[in-house]
Amino acid sequence: MSRLRFWNEKAETMSRDELSALQLERLRWTVKHVWSNNGFYRDKLTEAGIEPGDIRALEDLKRLPFLTKDDFRDQYPLKMLCAPRNAVREMHMSSGSTGTPVVMAYTETDLVQWAECMARCQVMAGLQPGDTLQIMPTFGLFNGGFGFYHGARLAGLFIVPASSGNTARQIMLMRDFKVRGIGSVVSYASRIIEMLDEQGVDLPDLEIGIFGAESFSDEMRRRVEERLNIKAFDIYGMTETGGVGTTGMDCEARCGIHVWEDQYLTEIVDPVTGEPMPDGAAGEVVFTSLTRDAVPVIRYRTRDLTRIASRERCACGRTSLRIDRIEGRCDDMLIVKGVNFFPKQVEQALMEIPGVLPEYQIIIENDHGVTGVRVNVEAEEGVTGYMVEKHLKERLGFSPKGDVFKAGALPRSEGKAKRVFRVDK
């Protein structure tokens, strides 16, 4: 059997004219769908002076009102539902650690759409029907585990539904079942590497890692790839768009995240004014779903910062636009001594120092209104605090306090890593 390069070649290689025509058709359907089936959406459109018949061109998208996380929270749990409740087949939600959780409901149509997006990602990463995929995100209210599962079922993969935690068992399963691909958060890959080093073993069959839910630096990717001898992919998606993988993933060409444009419209706007930004300029990414049934999103402000990298055909053959990998979130930017930076930039700088290990903490200290930063990091013997401070000064423009710890000294998480801590003195 010939090797698959695409899961859905027609959709993934559509010409720009074909894609634009399809997007307009689906945008008009989405606006009509929410107008006809949900009072919240209808009120928002009415306040903006929009009716479904007003959408005549893709350029009319910018006339539509934005949707935000606060809208989801205000409409908790299911007040944004645009389908009959008895048509809902599944739900997932955010952790709610910073307020009321965001809920996403799925009809059968939505589950098919999610599986389609994830199958595209899994095949783009190189997985083939019959390959073994070990799924490490939690199977529960968080969407990660089920997203990988739905896609893998559609793509015909052999699924090892390991869920999160128990690293020794994860390694046993990967070895015993000759796992070719894993789905995880990249910080958990670091934990796997630690245990492999402790056990003195390797994973000879593992070739592919698909990592989502947290941004990670190029240097972190390089380290994971080298130690596990894999290709690592950055998958993108969020609860509000329907879950992991719905908005795309990067390919082997390493030139940005392919957005599934037949499923989502993409805009980059100024994070402050909401005005459109030109291609190549950094801003906040905004998504409009085109095929979601239960809870579509129209101009959803993600708070994620990126830019449109290209609209040209990629070396992999796909024609969808590409956005840069996520730099950070609007609300993640840290300002210390007049210097603006993101946690991902700290990670990139740390991973450039020989002997520094992947576990670190960024501690923001508020001392009676004066903000300082401390960076604690694990490292091999011979790495000193001065070395770390000097390199961070060169890369970020200021000298943080901090300490160097032996491997294993900093706390671990079996799931998404917590890197930034805030302390009031």
364, pLDDT greater than 80 = yes
For 267-326, write each residue's pLDDT tens digit.
999 999 999 999 999 999 999 999 999 999 999 999 999 999 999 999 999 999 999 999
CB contact burial 183-221 (16+ within 10 A = b; e otherwise): bbbbbbbbbbbbebeeeeeebeebbbbbbbbbbbbebbb
Lowest mean pLDDT among 1-5, 194-198, 304-308, 374-378: 1-5
Is the CATH number of domain 333-424 3.40.50.360? no
Least confidently predicted of 109-118, 192-201, 224-233, 356-365:
356-365
Q: What is the pTM of this model?
A: 0.87
Start-end of CATH 3.30.300.30 domains in the chain = 333-424
pLDDT tens string 106-125: 999 999 999 999 999 999 99
Edge-first strand listing for the sheet containing 158-160: 158-160, 132-135, 181-184, 208-211, 231-238, 243-250, 257-258, 322-323, 308-310
Question: How many angstroms separate the CA atoms of 361 and 18, rounded?
Answer: 47
CB atoms within 10 A of CB 149: 20
Give mean pLDDT, residues 13-42: 98
Helices (H), 2-61: 9-12, 16-37, 39-47
Residue 97 pLDDT > 60: no
CATH topology of domain 1-329: Rossmann fold (3.40.50)
The answer to whether 365 and 304 have CB atoms below 8 angstroms apart is no
Contact between 123 and 6 under an 8 Å Cβ cutoff? The reply is: yes
- The per-residue DSSP string of 396-412 comes to HSS--B--EE-TT-S--
Q: What is the secondary structure of 314-363 as a DSSP string?
A: PTTS--S-EEPPP-EEGGG-EEETTEEE-HHHHHHHHHTSTTEEEEEEEE
Classify residue 179 as exposed, middle or buried by CB count within 10 Å of its CB (0-12, 13-18, 19+): buried
- Is pLDDT of 137 > 80? yes
Number of helices and strands (H, E) in the chain?
Answer: 11, 21
> How crowded is residue 168: how many other Cβ atoms within 10 Å of its Cβ?
10
Local confidence band at 363 (pLDDT 50, 70, 90 cut-offs): confident
Stretch(es) of the chain classified as CATH 3.40.50.12780: 1-329
